Amino acid sequence: MAGPILEVRAITKKYGKNIVFQDISTTVNEGETVVVIGPSGTGKSTLLRCINLLTRVDRGQIYLDGREITAPGTDEDEVRQHIGMVFQNFLLFNHLTALDNVQIGLRRVKGMPPETAYQKAMAELERVGLADRAGHYPGQLSGGQQQRVAIARALAMDPRIMLFDEPTSALDPELIGEVLEVMRKLALEGMTMLVVTHEMGFAREVADRIIFMEGGRIVEEGPPEIMFGAPQNARTREFLWKITELYGKHEGQGRGNPG
Amino acid sequence: MFSNFFQYILSGTATTVSVTLVALPLGLMVALAFSLAYVYGRTPIPAVIGLYSTLMRGVPPIVLLFILYFVVSGSVNLSPFWAGSLSLGIISSAYQLEILRGAILSVSGGQMMAARAIGMSRWRAVRYIVLPQALRLAIPGWSNEASIVLKDSSLVYALGVTEILRRAQQLSATTQNPFLAYSAAALIYFLLVFATNRLLDWIARRTRIPAHF
């Protein structure tokens, strides 16, 4: 596997006295899919926001392609262009069609000429299987379709890494599959991805590495076979047991192939 | 006789419309800049603009009109028409600023976050993502303010500008028929306000975002 794209070194985030996470260090290599799991409130989403510089870390450094992006004087807007972000609640631009949602970054951030931007945006919509919905507004799309447009919007910027913040948590169960399908395809195409999710089937099947976070720390990390087969830590075992009991049922019905 | 009568008042209509067409856009431009500074500005700025807004809205327009008129015309040589229109615009800016501020705050913070996430600067996110949605939300409130400014333009009558009300008053004096004179003025105001609101309703419908609430 190729070298590191993202490197996180001992980062800490606090809100006042409340420590969200502490001394988190990890590396995501090119083409790798890393899945972060753990109970809610353990700082997983905040971790993604810090990596994307939407929130500032209190201590530690973050490197993207070997360049420290937490250094003072970094052009944060420029950095964010290279980090794709997919949110739990989609956050499509409400006043724009699917096509314009994907196009606007190309036009207004990258300054692409209209024709080139259009071609690129249509190609990205094609990639998530929604070229036929290009003219639809967010309110006219299902949740699953909205999330796929959001993925296309992030992909259009040609990011070095894609961050997914519980991308299926706000979806009706029958719409989850189509989003996971797109993500699975991206992973196969070699996209570098860091995914926070409760979808254990996806984690087991697609992840190269799984990170279990709890109480603002990384408790355990490793390849899915080990994490699901023989986790070393008692807390990891307990969490996986709980979550599999909770989500396990519909996993067998076609989404994610265990083992 | 009657057609002359009506024509005389009607000739003040152009002035009323002109005053409104100066005051409203002026107020809008000031309000746009101020509302953005109010919502996104650094520490002392929102407080200063908040004070401006509170003071402007806390005093009757006619009182402010006199103050501003004497301040403005004391420092620069302006005709009553311009002094009155500019003053009305400044008064209206405080109300329009609150309308726009409310609309900007109604656009969810997530929209800004998503815009920043694809690498937009704060300014671009405001320009391309927040404002297009906020301005749509502001239309109903703004339509209301537009009719208020249109009606309040009658206040410049007090500065001696010959708009509709002034004409009506002159007619009332010469014809000894105040009821007819003022009713004619009322009718013209009503038609102007009605047309303005219909126009803005139409714009609101045309710019509605499909399936978005």
Q: CA A223, A225, A230: angle at the middle one, nearest 5? A: 105
Answer whether residue B78 is part of any domain.
Answer: yes
For residue B128, the chain A residues in CB contact (below 8 A) are 104, 108
Looking at the predicted structure, is the pLDDT value of residue B195 above 90? yes
| Whether B209 and A137 lie within 8 Å, measured CB to CB | yes
Long-range contacts of A73-79 (CB under 8 A, 24+ apart): A77/A109, A77/B116, A77/B119, A77/B120, A77/B121, A78/B119, A79/A53, A79/B119
Q: Which of A109-118, A152-161, B70-79, B149-158 has the lowest mean pLDDT?
A: B70-79
Q: Is the pLDDT of residue A77 over 50?
A: yes
Is 90 exceeded by the pLDDT of residue A242? no
Residue A248: predicted pLDDT: 56
Q: pLDDT class for A256, splitting at 50, 70, 90?
A: very low
| Interface-testing mutation among A49, A94, A110, with chain B (most B C-beta atoms within 10 A) | A94
Give the chain B residue nearest A53 (alpha carbons): B117
pLDDT at B73: 75
A132 to A42, A129, A135: CA distances (angstroms) = 39, 8, 8
CATH for B76: 1.10.3720.10
Residue A259 has pLDDT above 50, yes or no: no
Q: What's chain A's Rg over C-alpha atoms?
A: 18
Which of residues A1 and A199 earns the better pLDDT score? Answer: A199
In a domain, B197, yes or no: yes
Give SS3 for A15.
strand
pLDDT of residue A251: 46
- Domain residue limits at B79: 2-206
* Domain assignment of residue B211, yes or no: no
pLDDT attached to residue A112:
97
Closest chain B residue by Cα to residue A154: B118
Contacts of B115 in chain A (CB under 8 A): 93
Nearest CA in chain A to B137: A95
Please enumerate in sequence order all residues whose Cβ is within 8 A of that of B152, keeping only pairs 6 or more positions apart, or say none: B61, B88, B91, B92
Do residues B81 and B91 touch, judged by C-beta distance below 8 A?
Answer: no
At A250 the pLDDT is 47
Q: What is the ipTM of this complex?
A: 0.91
| Report for A189-203, B64-78, B161-175: range of highest mean pLDDT | A189-203
Say if CB A54 and CB B116 are below 8 A apart: yes
pLDDT value, residue B213: 64
pLDDT attached to residue A255: 44
Residue from B184, B170, B158 nearest B64 by CA? B158
Nearest-angstrom CA–CA distance, A38 and B144: 51
pLDDT at residue A253 above 70? no
Query: Chain A: nearest CA to B205, how far in angstroms?
Result: 14
Residue B159 placed within a domain = yes
Tell whether B149 is covered by a domain. Answer: yes
Is-above-0.80 flag for pTM?
A: yes
For residue B44, being part of any structural domain is answered with: yes
Best of A52, A95, A96 to disrupt the B interface (most B CBs within 10 Å) is: A95
Which pLDDT score, from 0 to 100, does residue A245 have? Answer: 75
Model confidence over B97-109: pLDDT tens digits? 999 999 999 999 9
Instruction: Compute the nearest-CA separation of B32 from chain A (Å).
Output: 20
- Considering chain B, what percentage of its residues have pLDDT values greater than 70? 98
pLDDT over 90, % of chain B: 72
Number of domain units in chain B: 1
**pLDDT of A54 higher than 70:** yes
Position B212 in a domain: no
Q: Is B35 a residue whose pLDDT tops 90? A: yes
In a domain, B55, yes or no: yes
Mean pLDDT of chain A: 92
Position A53 scores a pLDDT of: 96
Report pLDDT digits (tens) over A171-218.
999 999 999 999 999 999 999 999 999 999 999 999 999 999 999 999
- Mutation to test the B interface, candidates A75, A92, A93, most B Cβ within 10 Å: A93
pLDDT over 60 (residue A1): no
**Which pLDDT score, from 0 to 100, does residue A62 have?**
98
User: Strand A18-29 vs strand A33-37: parallel, antiparallel, or unpaired?
Assistant: unpaired
